[in-house]
Structure 1
Amino acid sequence: MSSVPTPLPRTGAHAVPHGLHEAVVRWFDDAARDLPWRHPDCSPWGVLVSEFMLQQTPVVRVLPVWRAWLQRWPRPADLAAESPGEAVRAWGRLGYPRRALRLHAAAVELVERHGGEVPADHDALLALPGVGAYTAAAVAVFAFGGRQTVVDTNIRRVHARAVSGRGLPSRSLTAAETRLAEELMPADDVLSVRWNQAVMELGALVCTARSPKCGQCPLEDRCAWVAAGRPEPEEAPRGQSWHGTDRQVRGAIMAVLRAGAEPVPARHLTGPVDLADAARLPPGALRALDALHDLAAPEEQRRRALEGLLRDGLAVAGAAGVSLPG
């Protein structure tokens, strides 16, 4: 490991733990998960795909889909040549399938404006469809080794506890949190990349929201939150409901559409099941349709969910029925 610069004794209004960078980066050298998008031979496209998939989705669910995606579409041009509906189909059950549409649109943009390559420039990344401030910074850092401030939920939580002494960060990113992240960033470009990776991993594996493993943390003896007696967070974390929600019904309808190549009559999705009529569907679509109706969601809710999918461009309606976008 190269020498680690000593951090400033204070950052803004916060006392910075002594040896902060060194402790966290050394911990990461031993504890980091072996993730394929971290490998030196992973392409910038592979990194970009991982960042889209990891939004609000745990690593364990992303890994198999990411591998299948990169095997099928190893370059942006490969995905851009397919229909948006194929991107949605391959997205599977990762959730928030609009990310698949945006990733497809980004691939088209990369082909049309960037010669089929992911640009290293932060502003060019930020201009891609579906790429916000976090994703642009993450790709610039993790694919190209740029010195950018990456601030995700895990990083914010480590900063809040270790430096600010708070149980959890605010629900939304604040300007003060962004300034703190910038001030904590090592000056060395190479080390700044490692620092971003290390803090993110520490938040994901140890400094978790509900059950932090303080005994395994390299910062336990210098953490402002521990020193303050582990005060309760000002805002308790809220779990996302799923069962009985429109999101669950939307997901079940999407499963029906993904399971077959042919359009599905809208009446199968929103009305009572006519088994003789539905028997013409492929077996996979028929099983998914059974699962949709097993939810016992009211027809009004199923209709509302379908209308939302049509409005979001995740499904299209034609004379033969509803299908994934072509």
Structure 2
Amino acid sequence: MDSLSPHSPAPRDLVVWQHAMACLRAGVPVTLLIVASSTGDSPGRQGFKMSVAAGSMTGSIGGGIMEHKFVELARDRMQRRETGVLLREQVHRSEAGHNRSGMICSGQQMLVLLPLLPAHLPAVRAALETLEQHLPSTLHLSHTGELSVHLGHTGYPTQFESADAAASRWHYTEPLGFRDRLTIIGGGHVALALSRVMATLDFHLTVFDDRPNLNTLLQNPFVHEKRTLSYEKLALEVPEGPNQYVVVMTFGYRSDDVAVRQLLDHQLAYIGLMGSEAKIEKLLAGLRADGYSEQQLQRLYTPIGLPIHSRTPEEIAISIAAEIIRVRNAPFDDAR
């Protein structure tokens, strides 16, 4: 079995592009708002987006009074038929000398307001189509208001680059779609529960299992890909990279051991192993006996999940999701 679920979760931004496209097709003025950069505890993180029209909007640039203020600004500019792209800094501190957002959560963010014109229709259509089809693509936006979307990822993260201190000339680049990918090894009841939770967290989801016709795998509507696969082939099938996350939760000790040995040397953001303390101790002892170093073994998150005394598949799934969130949101040097 090798399939793409028609009900799998869509990237978070899809609704923004759908709204923008609907407005453009209907001839309704619409503005795209993008958080081009963010620092500190800014509520709007880099890449957050909104699509705003006179009587409707979707998405978010951080919420609160700041978001309300910029929604009203976008609507006022559309009413006055202003079509130029606008860049505005927002500082989330009450003592800030200028560009105060009205929020006090600290940090700051740079916001772009782009009134969408008929000339932007091809780029909006391309963004929408690639997100719907889960195709990698890259968004480009400049201070001139030029918007384009190209197939393929550049290999670089989201970037906001300014050519001068006044930010009068700048360029914004963003890989569209899912940045982070989770591969679940083992398609049982906990995998089904974990898929349900992770589907809300903007991950591309894949599940592998070596058992054909497994009901919990067949019935999993939350993932983008589900396959029956021999665990001896995992090293070839699981991608490496700083945005790759793996959870091992197979049927038993022997298959867990095979999966871990296949993936322990992979360059991954996270690899976690589910199991009892007795099983984990036995597996780790076997790895040490076969020459795996403590540095290698320390990469393995086990027992998996945050310690919340979870028992049911749903509780275990929440504890694992919380641990993955902690790793994803932590600085690279202190994720452990």
TM-score normalised over the length of structure 2:
0.25
When the two structures are superposed, what TM-score results if normalisation uses the length of structure 1?
Answer: 0.26
1 or 2, which has the higher strand percentage? 2
- Larger RCO (alpha carbons 8 Å, 6+ apart): 1
